[in-house]
A and B are shown apart, each in its own frame.
Chain A
Amino acid sequence: MTIDWSWIGDHTDDLTTLTVSHLQAALSAVLFGVLISLPLAVVAHRIRPLRGFLLGISNVLFTIPSIAIFVLLLPVSGLTRTTTVIGLTIYTLVVLLRNTVEGLDSVPAKTKEAAKAMGTRPLRTLLTVEFPLALPVIMAGVRIATVMSISLVSVATYIGDGGLGQLFTDGFQRNFPTPVIAGVVLTILLAVVADAALVAVQYVLTPWRRRRA
């Protein structure tokens, strides 16, 4: 299996476009996943009976095969990026929802109690005490969801999207390994860089965890 470097040289623009498109799909999915998970997690955290139900649903959704999800979405959103992002978003929920609920659970009761006793109202406590303290656990979920989404984008090649995934079908159809290898390497690079970026974001957002006494 040899790499045809001249093909890579001739296709840098395409590779760049595909990489950007790939990253956009993955990050959109994580962003929507977070936006959906945060309120659902608050509900699951506050209302115990709903907790198992909501986490159960996110588990069930995760087990639906990706092709099935895309097929089911076709009548709704067609062969578009929207379909890709909806599908990927559904998969992120399983980690994002669970981690956000666990993050909220991990906030010490004593600290919430203190906030209440100082006269902080529930919404403000949620935003300024509970979310910040849950952040490390939530961010752990965001990191997993991001890496998972980056690796899953390729599946959307079935519906004509798929970012770097298109390189796999291309290489497979022509029995030409170079695009496949380039696609794999770029996907891994994306995952590593995105994960490192999230670690940096968390570092910036949680100054109190930096200097452990």
Chain B
Amino acid sequence: MIQFDAVHKRFPNGTTAVHDLTLDMAEGGVTVLVGSSGCGKTTTLRMINRMVEPTSGTIRVGGQDVTRQDAAELRRSIGYVIQQAGLFPHRTVLDNIATVPLLLGHGRRKARARAAGLLETVGLSAEAGKRYPHQLSGGQQQRVGVARALAADPPVLLMDEPFGAVDPVVRTQLQDELLRLQKELSKTIVFVTHDIDEAVRLGDQIAIFRTGGHLVQCASPTELLARPADDFVAGFLGAERGLKLLSLKTLAAVPQGPAPEGGPWTLVLDAANKPLHWASDDAELPVRALKDDDSLLSALDESIASPTGLIARVDADGVLTGVSSRDDIHQHAGQAHTEARVAA
């Protein structure tokens, strides 16, 4: 969908921001550009909608060379979510979202109707539409930023550290929402971040950049974590690379059995067979029941926290389906690693 072909960007002051970049971003996938500051990831993103012009090389979106299109029209056809939202302070939330439809010449009424629909899509109340950006929280502003980028239903979405300025709890929420939206919309998303955990969480493909604008490795999160190309990538991924890989694997394949009777700790259930807590003769400990699509990492975490080393498994409704042991989880974790590392 987006192709970089031998793209080079040198700024007038002589610094090379992007060095001989060749990279394909697949249609309907999330490509995360990651690296420390000054590595050229934002410049790369901004060349896609011509906020920055390449010095040499070509960039194609949907097969067409971006430099051969009118810059303003190109930008209207590409959604852009900016760091800290970048909303227009003098326009209501609704009018902010309606920006691109209005530029495209849709009538005001039609543009506002579309904007009102998008408020719901990004999880904001209709009432929020009448407010001005400064009356919203940082997280809400960021949602408006996403809605604004989606307003003209562009096939491509560029996101420049969109969740960098919100607190970790809100950031996780926004990431979840983005993943949910992406499931529905299947946009081609290019996402810039310096947070490797965010990259692993959101990316179908992660491109790691090194200072000087060099692309070091571009691979799926699993491949990246299992087989980093060099020490730089390994260092960037951090010491808990193995655990991060487990965050990508689900619990589904780990065997489960009935909860054992006897022993000092019992799993207490409510009337509907939903786990309540672990109980012994004189103490109670909380239980975090896990579903099949929860990650192996959270299973490992819960098995350590659990007084019996067992994790409670539940179905979508929260009803107990069985328990899995620490050993089974461990074994699957190891297996997942080995598979990822030997896979071609």
Contact = CB atoms under 8 A, between A and B. Distances in A.
Contact of A110 (B77, B86, B100): B86
B87 interface: yes
A206 interface: yes
A114 B86 contact: yes
B132 A208 contact: yes
Nearest to A133: B90
B132 A119 contact: no
B82 A113 contact: yes
A111 B86 contact: yes
Contact of B90 (A116, A117, A206, A213): A206
A48 interface: no
B91 interface: yes
Interface stretch (B3-11, B67-75, B299-307): B67-75
A118 B99 CA distance: 8
Contacts of B84: 110
A118 B75 contact: yes
B170 interface: no
Contacts of B75: 116-119
A118 B76 contact: yes
Contacts of A121: 72
A71 to B, nearest CB: 45
User: A-side binding surface: helix, strand, loop or mixed?
Assistant: helix
B51 interface: yes
B191 interface: no
Interface residues of A, number: 22
A91 B148 CA distance: 44
Contacts of A194: none
Given A211-B132, A213-B134, A117 B88 contact: no
Contacts of B51: 113, 116-117
Nearest to B74: A119
Given A118-B103, A120-B103, A208 B72 contact: no
B9 to A, nearest CB: 17
Nearest to B99: A118
A111 B88 contact: yes
A174 interface: no
B151 to A, nearest CB: 9
B135 A213 contact: yes
Q: Which of A115, A120, A129 has the most CB of B within 10 A?
A: A120
A119 B89 contact: no
Contacts of A211: 132, 135
Nearest to A122: B72
B321 to A, nearest CB: 47
A119 to B, nearest CB: 3
Contacts of A116: 51, 75
Contact of A114 (B77, B88, B135): B88
B80 interface: yes
Nearest to A114: B86
A116 B46 CA distance: 12
B160 to A, nearest CB: 9
B49 interface: yes
Interface in A123-154: 124, 129, 132-133
Contacts of B100: 118-119
B89 A133 contact: yes
Contact of A113 (B86, B89, B92): B86
Nearest to B46: A117
Contacts of B77: 119
A117 B45 CA distance: 12
A119 B86 contact: no
Given A114-B80, A119-B72, A208-B91, 16 more contacts: A110-B82, A113-B86, A114-B82, A114-B86, A114-B87, A117-B49, A118-B99, A118-B103, A119-B74, A119-B76, A119-B77, A119-B103, A121-B72, A129-B90, A208-B89, A211-B132
Q: Which 8 A-B pairs have the closest CB atoms?
A: A119-B76, A119-B75, A114-B86, A213-B135, A117-B80, A208-B132, A119-B72, A208-B90
